[in-house]
Amino acid sequence: MTQRGSCLCGAIRYSVDGPLRPVIACHCSQCRKSSGHHVAATSARREHVTILGDPTWYASSETARRGFCPTCGSNLFWDGPGANLSIFAGTLDGPTGLAIAGHIFCADKGDYYEIPEGLRRVDGEDPALTTMVR
């Protein structure tokens, strides 16, 4: 099944022809600063993602970059080491069938919200959560 998504203005569109990882909420300070809140992202194998348009890439660290639309500013991708490209779940079109599977970098969360109980919560990085693609 192909999933499609885009930025707010439609200048950047993408499709994913493969499975998506369950959504992970990241509460790290970089995600909070770049989005204004925590980030909810899925991911897919890089070879399954086709991007139409030319996102702007910002090197947010020595090992990762963030892709966004240069026209409307929509945050779309997080691109770090490994075989997967992270995709901001809110940019997917239509029903996805995805659900949040856990929360990472909980130690960095903002003080103005609470993380609900019931899902895996990790203070920092968790490769077991962030690399799983079914």
36-73, pLDDT tens digit by residue? 999 999 999 999 999 999 999 999 889 889 999 999 99
First vs last Cα of the chain: how many Å apart?
A: 13
Say whether pLDDT at 128 is over 80: no
CB atoms within 10 A of CB 90: 14
Rounded mean pLDDT, 6-27: 96
Cβ-contact 59, 20 below 8 angstroms? no
The predicted structure's pLDDT at residue 94: 86
pLDDT tens per residue across span 68-127: 999 999 999 999 888 999 999 999 998 999 999 999 999 999 999 999 999 999 999 887
Say whether pLDDT at 134 is over 50: no
The predicted structure's pLDDT at residue 79: 93
CB atoms within 10 A of CB 26: 24
Rounded Cα distance, 77 and 68, in Å: 7
The predicted structure's pLDDT at residue 111: 96
